[in-house]
Structure 1
């Protein structure tokens, strides 16, 4: 898995899947995962997208095969956005389609608002513009991780994340994959999360934008999502009937098809 040294001793891992025709110019789709995940979160999306575009999957700083962060790492949301910009520069990519799930969607929103020349089209899947709503949950999450470990915390919190319809086998896979996240990364990251709010920035987004949420998302009601989505000129909101908030995981085939059609249809 390729790595890019973003700063001394800190590497970002990424994957680039390309099943396009070599003789046809192809765009690049950047996929940004959510909290306690990795590039593996996008498995269902690669087959749907990789005949149309090169698919770039990043392990965010501290996650997956990227360098774990110490518990006292001074996390900044702006740094996560800057990491993406640096990786695109490293790979020589002047413009991409950006797709993000959960906080990866929040990063994608900020990327499109702050660096409009980099983003051709934008898709946000269950990604909130503000994460202030989890402020009352993160102290308990941190305590449980410190006490019981990351896998136990993921298992205990997955009901709201994945909803009630996910098959047990799929739920077990997601729990195992997310449970591999370093506890030290989550300790600092979860202190940053409640302070993330890009709501004041979304009106600056000029890229054609698709926002997907669910009828029962715990990260914001449909009305709350629509309130910021409508600030993005010409954007489209699609609501999937489910009680999850991680729609890319709970409804992978439907959301992958929505993104494919939005980007290439």
Structure 2
């Protein structure tokens, strides 16, 4: 298993899959081990994926200073990863909360990014988050699902702060609640350590100025893709559209029938959309 050393001495693990031009991949969760990304729906057949286990996750070592789990503090790890791979500029993909990290990296190192793909991402450091109303509106698109009647009241109660999270609501995060989705969801607790996950956004609303981040992003000349899932309540297509407005050269694509993990819901459609962007054909 290859490793690199972060600027503060933390040992970071990474994993390479596939062949082709390199694509650096940052996981979401927040702070979920990169294993949950798999081969991104077969994208590894076209690109060599370099997946980073963020500090304290997967095969990477825990941080000596827990404060360094915060998303803006992780930017230095991403820059160390780029240098370790020997890439002058890199195509960068971030999923979900990993898209916030990818955006912060692009703002600080715009000259190092050749293309930026943000997959089902709402960039919280830009002040963009789904409301409970957003999530419930997306959930109501699923009324024909056999699990809806049992799941929806629990989802509504959880969003209102009236109940703890119940596993019955998990299908709302997937476009297809099949055996593949069930196995993917079942692996999540083991892959997401509590302390790093809890600290990822800790204090970020006071630490970062969305206006300053927007200003920094005007220096980014790289093309940016925002891929949203039609059924994703946490990162709705509308929220993705507002996120795209923060980038000078962004385009939005909405994958039909997809939830928060679009490479599971329709691998071929996901791969085609991302490849067309990375190859500059769309």
Could you say which TM-score interval applies, normalised by the shorter chain? 0.7 to 0.9
Specify whether residues 113 and 248 from structure 1 end up closer, same or farther in structure 2 by C-alpha distance, changes over 3 A only. Answer: farther
What's the Cα RMSD here? 3.3
Query: What secondary structure does 1:83 align onto?
Result: helix
Give how far 1:179 is off: 2.7
Count matched residues.
243
Specify whether residues 248 and 19 from structure 1 end up closer, same or farther in structure 2 by C-alpha distance, changes over 3 A only. Answer: closer
Which blocks of at least 5 consecutive residues in structure 2 are unaligned? 133-157, 159-163
The answer to whether the 8 A contact 1:134-1:194 is kept is no
CA deviation profile, 1:34-68 (whole Å, cap 9, x unmatched) = 014222233233743444x4321111122111123
Give how far 1:106 is off: 1.7
Which blocks of at least 5 consecutive residues in structure 1 are unaligned? 21-26, 137-143, 145-151
Show the 5 A alignment for 1:85-104: 85-104=79-98
The answer to whether the 8 A contact 2:28-2:96 is kept is yes
Specify whether residues 115 and 216 from structure 1 end up closer, same or farther in structure 2 by C-alpha distance, changes over 3 A only. Answer: same
2:117 matches 1:123? yes
Show the 5 A alignment for 1:36-55: 36-45=31-40, 47-51=42-46, 53-55=47-49
Equivalent residue, structure 1, for 2:153? none
CA deviation profile, 1:233-258 (whole Å, cap 9, x unmatched) = 33211012346234344444322221
Give how far 1:206 is off: 1.3
Equivalent residue, structure 2, for 1:213? 228
Q: Highest CA radius of gyration, 1 or 2?
A: 2
So what's the TM-score if we normalise by structure 1? 0.76
Show the 5 A alignment for 1:61-210: 61-69=55-63, 72-130=66-124, 133=129, 155=167, 158-163=170-175, 165-189=176-200, 191-192=202-203, 198-199=213-214, 201-210=216-225
